[in-house]
Amino acid sequence: MEILMSIIIGALFASSIYLMLSKSLLRIIIGTGLLSHGAHLLIITMGGLKRGAAPLLGEKAASYVDPLPQALILTAIVISFGVTALFLVLAYRAYQELGTDNMDEMRGNEAND
């Protein structure tokens, strides 16, 4: 399962990088969304999969899955949400001000030489 997950994570990363290299601002943000999914899955995969019960003591199981990666991912999800939301609004405002979402057209003015 871990190897399969690694390949899926690789696929998520590859597609997110491909999107980030595109010109459209929206696609870049979609790319960051995919990238954070990949990263979250990577953390939980590296913690080991399906070895025991959910990390709730009420289960009274013999073994539980590792709770620490889950706590880390929870933090990461919230942070990436905050960042994504800010990015989205930033892109929205950029579109409003500049009238484009093409990154190439958003290049800064050439320095005078």
Partner 1 sequence: MSLLHLAIFSPFLMAILVPFFYKGLRSIHTGWFVLILPILLFTYFIGFLPVTRNNGTVEKSFDWIPSLGIRFTAYVDGLGLLFALLITGIGSLVVLYSIFYLSKEKERLHNFYVYLLLFMGAMLGVVLSDNLITLYMFWELTSISSFLLIAYWYDRERSRYGALKSMLLTVFGGLSMLGGILLLSIMGDTFSIRELISQASELNGHPLFLFALILILLGAFTKSAQFPFYIWLPDAMEAPTPVSAYLHSATMVKAGIYLVARLSPIFAFSSYWFWIVGAVGIFTMFWGSFNAVKQTDLKGILAFSTVSQLGLIMSLLGAGAAALHFDALNDNIYIAAVIAAVFHLINHATFKGSLFMVVGIVDHETGTRDIRKLGGLLSFMPITFSIAVIGAFSMAGLPPFNGFLSKEMFFTGMIQLVDLNIFNLQTWGMLFPILAWIGSIFTFIYSMMFVFKTFSGKYQPEKLDKKPHEAPVGMLISPIILAVLVVLFGLFPNLLSYSLIQPAAAAIVPSLVEPGELLSVHIVHWHGVTTELLMTIGVIAVGILMYLTLSKWIKLYTLFPGKVTLNTLYDTSLYAAERGSYTFTKAYMNGFIRTYLVYIFVFFIGILGFTMWTEGALKIDKSNLAPIGVYEIVLVIIILAGIFTILFAKSRLTSIIALGAVGYTVSLFFVIFRAPDLALTQLVIETVSVALFLLCFYHLPKLNRHEERMGFKLGNLIISLGVGTVIALMAISSHSNKMFESIASYYVANTYKEAAGKNMVNVILVDFRGFDTLFEISVLAIAGLGIFGLIKLRLAKKGGEADEN
* 105 near partner 1, judged by CB under 8 A: no
* 62 near partner 1, judged by CB under 8 A: no
Closest approach of partner 1 to the CB of residue 19, in Å: 7
Nearest-angstrom CA–CA distance, 95 and 12: 27
* 98 near partner 1, judged by CB under 8 A: no
Tokens of 97: 């001000």
Closest approach of partner 1 to the CB of residue 23, in Å: 7
Nearest-angstrom CA–CA distance, 41 and 69: 10
| Span 11-40, contacts to partner 1 by CB under 8 A | 11-24, 26-27, 29-30, 33-34, 37-38, 40
Based on the number of CB atoms within 10 Å of its own CB, is 16 exposed (0-12), middle (13-18) or buried (19 or more)? buried
